[in-house]
Amino acid sequence: MNTTPLAVSRNYFRHRAANQWHKTPAEPGEPGAIRPFLAGNWKMNLVPRSGVALAARIFDICKGVKDVDIGLAPPYTGLSALADYIKPDFLRSEYDLGRNVFLMAQDTFFESKGAYTGEISPEMLAAIGVDRVIIGHSDRRANLGKFFGFSSSVARRLTPDFLTHELDALRKREGVDPQVFAAIEFMAAEQNHEILAGLAKFLEEDLKERAGESDAVTQRKVHASLAQGLQVILCCGENREARALHETFKLLDRQIRIGLEGVSPKTVNEMIIAYEPVWAIGSGAKAAGVEQISEVHDFIRNLVMDLYGEETASVIRILYGGNVNPENIADIMSIAGVDGALVGGASLKAHDFAQIIRFGCLIRDRHSDL
């Protein structure tokens, strides 16, 4: 494992200079110092019993770690079993952990009850002891869209060949609406091929994202969760295309502005933002670079400052997510604007996730050596 954590100073007060945020000194655990938050998102993995077993192994390696917040997000089916297991008294006596372990849900619905087959409401989560909820994860915003959306299948039909073939079929039919016929003929005409290609691209790429969870849906989920006293981890992040087109900040601005709209200055303190570039998530991808993360976290903090003022911006926690692992956690946590990590794949391996959590201990050990 990289030994750089020893060079990381753990101080989480910030001041703003030239649109950049710097940490100012605060001892670990000092009142007011921002607590690092290391959260594991298990996604659609582990039956309840395996989730509890994994949590036990993680806690065992993290005995006595009190200066960081630990979050575990099993799938819905694992929440109750884990809620029963992570009772503070038990964690204290068994693992010397305090109230720094948080049960998280991976998503929620925005209505409290009703005919919404398959959905789970914030009330239901709160009732079984869930503390925090992830909202707007890119799996929901975009990745799942390709399963539920219709846009790709429509886009595939928007080729001159397909349309010409359709026209032939329509010609043989009786009673076809002439307007429909004219429209298809227009689209299939050679001089309109570029328009057709543009439309297909729009459907294929842009609407695919919107076929997933929209910013507006995310916003409703944020409000519904906060109303139940759940802390919200609002995810944002650009996909590969947006980065290539230099539209990262525009997209993040939209996602965060809409996600936070209507959240009062008081309640925004119950929120955590997670920056997760979609291109950096999952196996086969590579974590974003330190410069990239630093730049975006500064951007987000400045946006929060525009919306809520400097005080809120200086304390709101902003996590990074996307291929965080024991090797890169120290470098990532040493970035001034990073207050923790949302971890996918590595959180399914007890040793790896424990190493990620214990990055804070390494820093504390360094302080006690001084």
Footprint of ligand PGA (CB under 6 A): 41, 276, 281-282, 321-324, 342-346
Q: Which residue, 157 or 286, is less far from ligand PGA as judged by CB?
A: 286
Residue of closest CB approach to ligand PGA: 344
Q: How far is the CB of 50 from ligand PGA (least distance, A)?
A: 18
Q: How far is the CB of 218 from ligand PGA (least distance, A)?
A: 15
- Whether 276 is catalytic is yes
Q: Which of 193, 276, 297, 327 is catalytic?
A: 276
**359 exposed, middle or buried (CB, 10 Å; 0-12, 13-18, 19+)?**
buried
Residue 175 backbone zone (phi > 0: left; psi -120 to 50: alpha; other: beta): left
Q: Which residue, 230 or 332, is less far from ligand PGA as judged by CB?
A: 332
Q: What is the chain's alpha carbon radius of gyration, rounded to the nearest angstrom?
A: 24
Q: Which residue, 21 or 353, is less far from ligand PGA as judged by CB?
A: 353
For residue 24, give the H/E element and its range. Answer: strand 20-24
Q: Which residue, 103 or 324, is less far from ligand PGA as judged by CB?
A: 324
Query: Is the separation of the CB atoms in 79 and 105 below 8 Å?
Result: yes
Residue listed under structure tokens 């992040």: 237
The Cα–Cα gap between 169 and 325 comes to: 56
Q: Which residue, 95 or 275, is less far from ligand PGA as judged by CB?
A: 275
- Whether 137 is catalytic is yes
Angle (deg, nearest 10), helices 193-201 and 160-171: 110
- Please give the DSSP secondary-structure letter assigned to residue 288: P
Q: How far is the CB of 345 from ligand PGA (least distance, A)?
A: 3
Q: Which residue, 122 or 345, is less far from ligand PGA as judged by CB?
A: 345
The Cα–Cα gap between 58 and 358 comes to: 10
> What's the distance, Cα to Cα, between the start and end of the chain in Å?
22
Q: How far is the CB of 243 from ligand PGA (least distance, A)?
A: 16
Q: How far is the CB of 237 from ligand PGA (least distance, A)?
A: 9
The Cα–Cα gap between 20 and 370 comes to: 29
Query: Is the separation of the CB atoms in 151 and 211 below 8 Å?
Result: yes
Q: How far is the CB of 274 from ligand PGA (least distance, A)?
A: 7
Tokens of 117: 């087959």
DSSP 167-178: HHHHHTSSS--H
- Please give the DSSP secondary-structure letter assigned to residue 76: H
Q: Which residue, 188 or 288, is less far from ligand PGA as judged by CB?
A: 288
Q: How far is the CB of 282 from ligand PGA (least distance, A)?
A: 5
Q: Which of 137, 209, 213, 238 is catalytic?
A: 137
Pairing mode, if any, of strands 132-135 and 37-41? unpaired
Please name which of 68, 64, 72 lies closest in space to residue 93, comparing C-alpha atoms.
Answer: 64
Q: Which residue, 203 or 236, is less far from ligand PGA as judged by CB?
A: 236
CB atoms within 10 A of CB 210: 14
Q: How far is the CB of 242 from ligand PGA (least distance, A)?
A: 17
The Cα–Cα gap between 108 and 115 comes to: 15
Query: Is the separation of the CB atoms in 21 and 14 below 8 Å?
Result: yes
Catalytic residues: 137, 276
